[in-house]
């Protein structure tokens, strides 16, 4: 969907459909909605009187104008209670409005900036929220189909601003909203592709092409490069697959690394997870969904894209270790011991605990970025995080309270919630090994598997502030929700972008 910003009176727009708004409890609309109501001889007021236009958050009512004004349709979307109105409400209303516009077949839609006038919100933030939510709502996952799609789609969306003094601010917000939504779409697309398409090679190539397009530095390490670095733990997972592993390094503001704060993002990139010899249970019906085990890597790649396009004043590094976890004659076995790039050793108890293995060497590599202010990893790491938190939040593990607060605030701001989990010292005792420094699983004891996995990762971190986000319960949605498809969610992209953009604040 193309995004435009236009200096115009919304009443004069010739779009297929225009969107205005209404707070709950308002009987006489004002502002842009009032101007449209007046041009329509009070039709909106009449609908309010009849109770057909309530102003409840996300409620919509459609009016056909019969050529009273240039547009054939007016959609009024509810903003909810004025007292609780915020950017989250803007996103909810915008998503509901564009969905309703799409359902009636409108191709060109124009909207005012919800909250930018009498709503009292910052105009840049409000414009961003409208565009971001509208694009996210219309996302559809890619399909490998022999036939053309048949669904009607909104092709262009115009934010209309009447006040010339606010026009530049609306443009700025709209651009940010577009970049953030499109970056989220990139991650969703990568996750949604089948594993025979989204291989480590394909994802690395996508990252390299994207980096060239937006001005990022990108290096892709091959197997021989990883062997030379001593990444024996990561490569132990890759041994079981004929697909060559890749290690993607993307940098924003690389040339200014000495003068800017450095933030390192690390994403788990297991492009398909069979579980290896610790084979996953096949009768659950979701084995095919293991293609989403590279969501962390996709999120990191997408976040770096946004960092470049939004010109975030930080040195941001993205690390994405990519491999399949498969079975062949060379595959790792329970009981094997491997050495990572810092010399630390690890015993394999479960070959299905492979995500923490590839992150072990990635987190060790992150130690090369001296004086990093934060290293954050994202991973679809444990099924048990879903038992603890469900699909409502991702688990957050860190011993750095300042970093924890920053991440929670960012998640709350964009609607991607995090919940802090314990990092007790006793969890480290559970992963001590007879034959190596640590073991990668506590099986057959399944208790505290979420926390011991985080302690395993912490063992391989270097001297930097670190946080681990376990996104296994939120990376794939079973049901469609506002701005979230049924399928790949790319949870974490918008959170991390907000975190980076507000770092200095």
* Residue (of 307, 304, 332) closest to 320 by Cα position: 304
* Residue (of 413, 212, 172) closest to 304 by Cα position: 212
Q: Where are the alpha helices (DSSP H) in 335-440?
A: 355-366, 384-389, 401-414, 426-429
Instruction: Report whether 321 contacts 362 (CB < 8 A).
Output: yes
Instruction: Report whether 203 contacts 191 (CB < 8 A).
Output: no
Q: Where are the beta strands (DSSP E) in 171-296?
A: 217-221, 246-252, 262-267, 269-273
Q: Could you tell me whether strands 315-325 and 345-347 are parallel, antiparallel, or unpaired per DSSP bridges? A: unpaired
Tell me the CA distances in angstroms from 195 to 78, 185, 355, one per residue in order: 41, 18, 16
Angle, helices 31-39 vs 43-50, to 10°: value is: 100
d(CA 505, CA 495): 15
Cis-peptide, bond into residue 352, ω within 30° of zero:
no
Q: How many CB atoms lie within 10 A of CB 170?
A: 26
Q: What is the 3-state secondary structure (H, E, C) of 10-37?
A: HHHCCCCEEEEEEECCCCCCCHHHHHHH
Instruction: Report whether 222 contacts 298 (CB < 8 A).
Output: no
d(CA 71, CA 36): 11
Q: Where are the alpha helices (DSSP H) in 239-366?
A: 295-309, 355-366
d(CA 427, CA 447): 10
d(CA 482, CA 452): 34
d(CA 291, CA 194): 6
* Residue (of 319, 327, 354, 322) closest to 338 by Cα position: 354
Active site residues: 280, 356
Q: How far apart are the first and last CA of the chain?
A: 32
**Residues contacting residue 251 through CB under 8 Å, at least 6 positions apart:** 216, 217, 218, 257, 315, 316, 317, 318
Q: What is the 3-state secondary structure (H, E, C) of 462-474?
A: CCCCEEEEECCCC
């Amino acid at each position: 969907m193309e995004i435009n910003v236009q200096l115009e009176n919304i009443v004069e727009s010739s779009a297929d459909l225009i969107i205005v708004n209404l707070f709950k409890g308002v009987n006489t609309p004002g502002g842009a909605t009032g101007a449209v109501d007046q041009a329509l001889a009070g039709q909106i007021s009449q609908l309010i009187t009849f109770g057909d236009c309530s102003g409840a958050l996300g409620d919509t009512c459609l009016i056909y104008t019969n050529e009273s004004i240039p547009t054939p349709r007016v959609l009024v979307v509810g903003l909810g209670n004025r007292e609780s109105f915020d950017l989250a409400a803007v996103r909810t209303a915008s998503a509901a409005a564009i969905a309703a516009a799409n359902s009636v077949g409108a191709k060109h839609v124009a909207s005012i900036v919800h909250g930018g006038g009498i709503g009292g919100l910052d105009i840049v933030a409000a414009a961003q929220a409208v565009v971001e939510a509208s694009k996210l709502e219309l996302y559809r996952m890619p399909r490998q189909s022999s036939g053309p799609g048949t669904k009607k789609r909104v092709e262009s969306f115009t934010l209309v601003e009447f006040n010339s003094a606010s026009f530049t601010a609306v443009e700025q917000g709209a651009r940010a909203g577009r970049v953030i939504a499109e970056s989220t779409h990139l991650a969703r697309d990568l996750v949604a592709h089948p594993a025979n398409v989204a291989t480590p090679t394909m994802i690395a190539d996508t990252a390299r092409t994207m980096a060239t397009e937006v001005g990022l530095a990108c290096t892709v390490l091959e197997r021989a490069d990883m062997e030379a670095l001593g990444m024996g733990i990561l490569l132990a997972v890759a041994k079981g697959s004929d697909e060559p592993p890749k290690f993607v390094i993307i940098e924003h503001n690389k040339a200014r690394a000495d003068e800017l704060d450095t933030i390192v993002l690390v994403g788990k990139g297991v492009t398909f997870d069979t579980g290896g010899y610790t084979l996953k249970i096949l009768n659950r019906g979701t084995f095919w969904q293991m293609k989403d085990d590279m969501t962390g890597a996709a999120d990191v790649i997408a976040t770096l894209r946004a960092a470049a396009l939004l010109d975030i004043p930080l040195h941001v590094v993205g690390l994405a270790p990519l491999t399949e976890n498969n079975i062949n004659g060379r595959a790792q076995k329970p009981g094997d011991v491997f050495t990572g790039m810092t010399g630390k050793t690890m015993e394999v108890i479960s070959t299905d605990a492979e995500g923490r293995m590839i992150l072990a060497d990635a987190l060790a590599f992150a130690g090369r970025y001296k004086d990093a202010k934060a290293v954050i990893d994202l991973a679809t790491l444990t099924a048990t995080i879903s038992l603890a938190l469900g699909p409502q939040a991702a688990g957050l593990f860190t011993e750095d309270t300042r970093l924890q607060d920053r991440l929670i605030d960012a998640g709350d701001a964009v609607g991607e919630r995090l919940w802090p989990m314990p990092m007790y010292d006793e969890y480290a005792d559970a992963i001590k090994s007879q034959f190596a420094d640590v073991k990668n699983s506590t099986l057959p004891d399944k208790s505290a598997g979420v926390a011991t996995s985080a302690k395993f990762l912490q063992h391989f971190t270097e001297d930097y502030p670190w946080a681990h986000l376990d996104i296994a319960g939120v990376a794939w949605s079973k049901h469609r929700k506002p701005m979230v498809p049924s399928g790949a969610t790319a949870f974490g992209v918008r959170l991390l972008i907000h975190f980076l953009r507000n770092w200095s604040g």
